[in-house]
Amino acid sequence: MTARYFNRLFARRRTAALISALSGLLASRPVAAITPDNPGAADIRFTINAAAAAKPISPYIYGMNHFAGSALTNPVTLDRLGGNRWTGYNWETNASNAGRDWYYQNDTHMGTGAAGNAVKGSLTSAANNGRALVVTVPISGYVAGDTAGPVTRAQALDHSRFKEIVPNKSDKYPDSSFSLTPNRNDGWVFTDEFVNWVEATRNPSTPVFYSLDNEPGLWGEPLPTNWQPGVPTSVQPSPQGRTHGALHPYAPTFAELRDKTIANAGAIKDVNPNALVFGGVGYGWNDFTTLQGAPDLSSYDNEISHPGGNEPGEMHFYEYLLQQTAQAEAAQGRTLMDVLDLHWYPEAQGGGVRITENNNTAAVVAARLQAPRSLWDPTFTETSWISQFSTQGPVKLLPRVQRDIDDFKPGTKIAITEYNYGGTNHISGGVAQADALGIFGREEVFAANFWNLHGNAQSQFASGAFKMYLNYDGDGGRFGDTSILAGTDRIAESAVYASVDSIDPSRVVVVAINRTGAAKSAGLAITHDERFDYAEVYRLTSASPNPVPGANIPINLVNAFTYEMPAYSVSTIVLRQAAEGDFNRDGQVNAADVSQWATGFGKTAGAAFSEGDNDRDGDVDGIDFLGWQRALGDASASASGAAVPEPSTSWLAMAASAAVFLRARRGTSCF
């Protein structure tokens, strides 16, 4: 045995002892939220706190309507089969009627063949792509009974061209069983039999939700004596602009919707007690408030009041529906309506033009970029007839609905299964869409589905906004599943949303929005129990409808940095810790890194990771050196299975000095 051998053996044992002792000291230190530094002067300050306002983000807020087969390339978590034509959908034959949208005719637009064919493709696509699916269940009273074209006034009034919707098959066929090939020759379609077909056909791992029809406030109205099917999408022959005068030739009522909601939701729950049922499904403000001026409005309008008093713009129809359904649930001992659904096509205007158009003039763009604030902001008043004549101030849609739920049917979830902010072919539409997605997550919306008003080719920036949350890096990078506190001091100019992962709270993803036409500097301060070393950045700007990676931002201050947001932009910012020991952040652990540690060794406060502070505790000491050595060993073993290189005498001396310092400070022995 040579002296060199014993020296090497001693060095290895001494290093092992240092690693063991110092690792124990490190592990014993309590974990606490790190107070961030001041990021410095900036146009906007974003404040993020991972220890505050943590809420789960529903995976179903990133949805679109009729996405199966879409040419859009963004990921989607929830598809929906809905819209005007689904009110008249006959699942037995696949016949349907789009009402005013297309000549009031019964036709084969949704397909032919076996029962449920119009649903089956989306069920298969959802299963193959890991999506959930909302299936619309017609409840208006009748569905298309043939495919023979436009319906006359006489046929509308006597329903001779339609089949009646019956919630429970047993009401017509006592003691009969459900069939996957239903009788097409009788005069009925059964809600429970349709749901049984869906349950039998879907992949068991695919979540399927059931929506009780579509936009009931527009179902129908009394038909004038000279009524004719007319021209698609024209104001006439529907005097009030309603959709389904042929299927439903009278105005819907509060009592009708109460009864049909309770009966059909019950039929669905009879088939699958765990199914989630979406109710309400109103087209917009007048549906939520008055059911489009329902004939029995005066009978119920003044009977509903909040315990704390009413405010302008009360949603009396939705409040009534919640109240009455809650009473039915109490009587039946089960939940019937799990989710209150709204459709939200903003009425906000810029320069007299509604923002939902793909009009991108300066006034419309300015209004569009602010419009998502009406979802929540009690300080913001949009320019619209709603804010002027109904709410008489801020709309604050989601808090308003949540108050209704809390007072009339606690525990009900919220969905917005149709919405569009317009400008989907312009960066302003992408910014508004990203803003809405962030709000949905923070405000605990259960489900949301974008409706493609303008076609795939004109919706590329809205598609890009989805990617900023679901695939920002082109490799499946996603916003987290838990919302955390994120605020801005310039809400008119910016918005910010932040997340962590429930299984990895150290992973922080931020979405920062610049609503203005000028670049803005943002100072970010992040309270977290981890110290971050750099930030990855991905941007959505007017230059491209897809996320584009930017240069990484080094974080040399304690969880604080500044970032230059481009004009009219969405930025997804991913906070990262560098690999252990990689002090120069070049992706390799080697001698260059320990040289940086050596330069910083002895710094007792304010040290950055790049200066050798491996454990991010603000100083550079022997513990940090041992972290580098551990990482070097892991890298070497991973690469070749080789032994860990021996540290030099000077490096060991510095590590030993750090150990002596810790021993003296804590009164413990390192050996």
Distance CA 380, CA 366 (A): 14
How far from chain centre, in Å, is Cα 542? 23
* Amino acid letter for position 471: N
CA 547 from centre of chain: 18
Q: Are strands 277-282 and 60-65 parallel, antiparallel or unpaired?
A: unpaired
Q: What count of residues does the chain have?
A: 671
Q: Which helix (H) or strand (E) holds 510?
A: strand 508-514
Q: Whose CA is closest to 98, among 149, 35, 54, 63?
A: 149
Question: Tokens 């021996």 — which residue?
Answer: 646
546: left (phi over 0), alpha (psi -120 to 50) or beta: beta
- Which value, to the nearest 10 degrees, does the dihedral of the CA atoms of residues 7, 13, 16, 21 take? -120
Q: What is the 3-state secondary structure (H, E, C) of 156-199?
A: HHHCCCEEEEECCHHHCCCCCCCCCCCCCCCCEEEHHHHHHHHH
The H-assigned helical ranges of 418-567 are 427-442, 460-470
| CB crowding 466-490: b at 16 or more within 10 Å, else e | bbbbbbbeeeebbbbbbbbbbebeb
Q: Which of 193, 215, 418, 580 is catalytic?
A: 215
Q: Which amino acid is at 240?
A: Q
Helix (H) / strand (E) containing 650: helix 649-666
| Cα separation, 167 vs 253, whole angstroms | 19
Catalytic annotation on 418? no
Whose CA is closest to 623, among 642, 597, 646, 645?
Answer: 597
Catalytic (active-site) positions: 215
